Each structure stands twice: as structure tokens, then as C-alpha cells.
């Protein structure tokens, strides 16, 4: 997978890379801080146990904003972990709401959101 468009921006994690999830270990050494965050007009679906972020007007997803002390290394780890066939970077990032206000962040969307996905299963 290619690097995200906003190389120095934080990552909005709402699935396997969130601090409370097992896969967080893939990026934990690069994380300098986390903040709870909300992304409006999106929802989570599940396909074969993988969380898939999809656009969904009126819905909202809770996640975590991950800030990195070495964004290059952190995003290299994210790109190595996340399967390209399932995810793609949002072209110009997303705006999330956190305790720090509105923050521009990178996030991964489902490539094919309706292919075998179970809405509301996550």
C-alpha cells in the first residue's frame, strides 16, 4: 500500500489499530499520543472479521487519533499491516472532532464497501 496523502498528519484509527485492539502493537512504538475522536458521516461494517470504514451520511464513528513521533516509520508500519485489497487512503484526509478541536487526519476507507460486508456487525 502507498503512503497516505498527508504524511505528517495523525491517523484516525477506528478498527484493528486502535489502542484497545490487538493490532495496535503494529504501530505502538511510533505513537507519541492518542486522543479519542469522532468522524461524522461514516460507519463501520465488517467483512470476514475485518472492520471496514465506509461513508454513511448521518452516521458517526468513534475512534482514536494516533499522533506519531516518526510519521514516516509509523505509516510504513501501517502500510505493511493493512491489506491493499481491502483499504485505500482518503485522498485528502478527513476532519475528525477531538478534545483538541477539528483535526485533519489520514484514515483508511473500504475499497469495495458493499462486497460481502455485514452492515452494523462491528
Quickly count: other Cβ atoms within 10 Å of residue 64's Cβ. Answer: 24
The Cα–Cα gap between 103 and 33 comes to 14
Residue 119: pLDDT band by 50, 70, 90 thresholds?
low
**Mean per-residue pLDDT, 16-35:** 92
- Give me the chain's average pLDDT, please: 88
More confident residue, 122 or 111: 111
Under CATH, which architecture does the 11-112 domain have?
A: Roll (3.10)
**Mean per-residue pLDDT, 33-47:** 94
98, 61 contact by CB (below 8 A): no
Whole-structure pTM value: 0.89
Residue 122: pLDDT band by 50, 70, 90 thresholds?
very low
Q: What is the pLDDT of residues 68-118, one digit of tens each?
A: 999 999 999 998 887 677 789 998 999 999 998 999 999 999 887 666 545
Amino acid at each position: 500500500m502507498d503512503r497516505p496523502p498527508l504524511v505528517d498528519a495523525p491517523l484516525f484509527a477506528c478498527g484493528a489499530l486502535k489502542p484497545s485492539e490487538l493490532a495496535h502493537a503494529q504501530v505502538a512504538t511510533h505513537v507519541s499520543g492518542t486522543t479519542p475522536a469522532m468522524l461524522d458521516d461514516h460507519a463501520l461494517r465488517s467483512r470476514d472479521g475485518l472492520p471496514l470504514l465506509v461513508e454513511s451520511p448521518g452516521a458517526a464513528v468513534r475512534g482514536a487519533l494516533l499522533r506519531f513521533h516518526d510519521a514516516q516509520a509509523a505509516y510504513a508500519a501501517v502500510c505493511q499491516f493493512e491489506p491493499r485489497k481491502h483499504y485505500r487512503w482518503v485522498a485528502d484526509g478527513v476532519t475528525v472532532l477531538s478534545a483538541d478541536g477539528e483535526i485533519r487526519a489520514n484514515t483508511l476507507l473500504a475499497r469495495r464497501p458493499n462486497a460481502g460486508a455485514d452492515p452494523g456487525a462491528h
